[in-house]
Amino acid sequence: MQILSELKEYAQNSDVPIIQDETLQFLLDLVEKKKITSILEIGTAIGYSALWMSTIASVQKIVTLERNYGLAQIAQANIKRAGQSKVIQVINEDALNYSATDKFDLLFIDGAKAQYQKFFDRYCANAEYIVVDNIDFHGMVENPSLTTNRNTRAMVKKIAKFKEAMLENQDYDCRYYAKGDGILLITKRK
């Protein structure tokens, strides 16, 4: 899809955060290997990662949540332009207010970083596989001294607490991957 390179360039020029290449490859490999058919994504931005995931043959349905109205509108336009409106549904709503009744093969969490635990708690029962992006947050989770901003420090503490809780959770198999900005792959223990 030609639009994907255009979206990447737009994101870089407009300071819109999109998935890193290494994380994207990890995600696409997982979707292909596990023959994922349905995905719930938290954090749409401009639709870049949803469009990429829609290129995998097994994917039939992506529901992606974006709380920012402007970004949701841009994502919707990009998805329409790419001809993927039948596969990808953009919902302009805060993920903490949305009620997912469907089951999904994959939950991809890439929204508000300070809300990771709440997103997980709200949607973990809806998905077989859960991928959480930016778990290292630019190296600040391991080294909080990289920021002097109080709000960022508070967010980093929440990410670190979530990461630690997931790695110690006996109900889930949680694997950390030092790819991109840090990834957690979480599955329910059988």
CA distances from 32 to 58, 89, 115, 129 (A): 7, 20, 28, 13
Domain encompassing residue 126: 2-188
Residue pair 108/18 in contact by the 8 Å Cβ criterion: no
pLDDT per residue, tens digit, the chain (190 aa), is: 789 999 999 999 999 999 999 999 999 999 999 999 999 999 999 999 999 999 999 999 999 999 999 999 999 999 999 999 999 999 999 999 999 889 999 999 999 999 999 999 999 999 999 999 999 998 899 988 888 889 999 999 999 999 999 999 999 999 999 999 999 999 998 7
Give Cα separations from 42 to 64, 92, 94, 147, 170 (angstroms). Answer: 6, 11, 9, 25, 25
* Of the candidates 125, 72, 118, the residue with the CA atom closest to the CA atom of residue 100: 125
Total tally of structural domains belonging to the chain: 1
Q: Which token pair is 188?
A: 């329910």
Q: What is the pLDDT of residue 104?
A: 97
pLDDT of residue 86: 97
Distance of CA 27 to the CA centre of its chain: 9
pLDDT given at position 30: 98
CATH number reported for the structural domain that contains residue 172 in this entry: 3.40.50.150
Q: At what angle do helices 116-123 and 150-168 cross, to 10 degrees?
A: 40
Residue indicated by tokens 């990289």: 146
